[in-house]
Amino acid sequence: MGGEYRREEGVALLVIVVLAGLSLVSLLVAFTYYCYISNKVSKHLKSLNKEETKKEEAEEEEAKDIENHLGGGGGGVGGGGGGGGEGTVVVSERGIQVQLFSYKQLHVATGGFGKGHVVGHGSFGSVYRGLLPDGRKIAVKLMDRPGMQGEEEFKMEVELLTRLRSPYLLGLIGHCSENGHRLLVYEFMANGGLQEHLYPNGGLLPLLYSALPLLTDREKVVQIMDPALEGQYSMKDAVQVAAIAAMCVQPEGDYRPLMADVVQSLVPLVKNRSIAKGCSSSFHASRPLASLDCGKTGS
């Protein structure tokens, strides 16, 4: 009787020891898994915090740069909401500096695009005179139909216009592309156009120089197009080609683009194989652009 009792007691003790061991192992596994998950979550949170910190630092740095460019005063251009800026100077991929204005800045500079500030109208928009805080007079072209032109096309046009350097053309100061609004900002010339100032007696400009204003005016580009090409091109493509041509005929050789740049600018205009095939049948139309004195020369 006593031996049987001891055996049962031994079995019970063995069961207790086994269960205790299993419980301990389970606790160790659970604790290890908890540590693993905690470590993983901690690393993830640290990574997020680092990204957030970098983002905040970048935003602070950008804000400081903008504040420096704008004269450190928030608000619009010369507006009542604090100091004024003239637009942030940005550098394009080609290293060209151009001022980036906000819509609010140009709205204030032009008196809210009031009728009293209108100096001209065109099929693509109206032109308003404006005044920057530093006293510079500007001409702001507000595009009435921005939807006809994509953002990339607008950026290309801005870069092409920025690269134009000629005494016969108004210089592009900057631009604005914000919430569907697209605006170009030029130097303002009062009391007539540049031709009247250069040739007050009605003298004639050389052919290339007289053509430059046509090449940079959307509404007048069609006047220099070959009538035989009617219906074979879109107005958008014609304007872009004209802007490229205007760069090629600048009198200063150093300001003319390299042929590689010209080709790179023309590549996006080739949309499909049929257009490429059509080039051979209309070779005479491409000769004026090909024969222009493009490329950097000593002249």
Ligand-binding site membership of 115 (annotated):
no
Taking the C-alpha atoms of 242, 243, 249 and 251 in order, what is their torsion angle to the nearest 10 degrees? 150
Can you tell me the distance from the alpha carbon of 55 to that of 287, in angstroms, rounded to the nearest whole number? 51
Can you tell me the distance from the alpha carbon of 33 to that of 40, in angstroms, rounded to the nearest whole number? 10
Token pair of 270 as six digits: 């080739």
DSSP of the chain: -HHHHHHHHHHHHHHHHHHHHHHHHHHHHHHHHHHHHHHHHHHHHHHHHHHHHHHHHHHHHHHHHHHHHTTS--SSTT-TTS-----EEEE-TTS-EEEE--HHHHHHHTTTT-GGGEEEEETTEEEEEEE-TTS-EEEEEEES-GGGS-HHHHHHHHHHHHH---TTSPPEEEEEEETTEEEEEEE---SS-HHHHH-TT-PPPPHHHHHHHHHT-TTTGGGGS-GGGTTSS-HHHHHHHHHHHHHHT-SSGGGSPPHHHHHHHHGGG--SHHHHHHHHHTHHHHHHHHTS--S----
Q: What is the CA radius of gyration of the chain?
A: 34
User: Which residues line the annotated binding site?
Assistant: 141
User: Which residues line the annotated binding site for ATP?
Assistant: 141
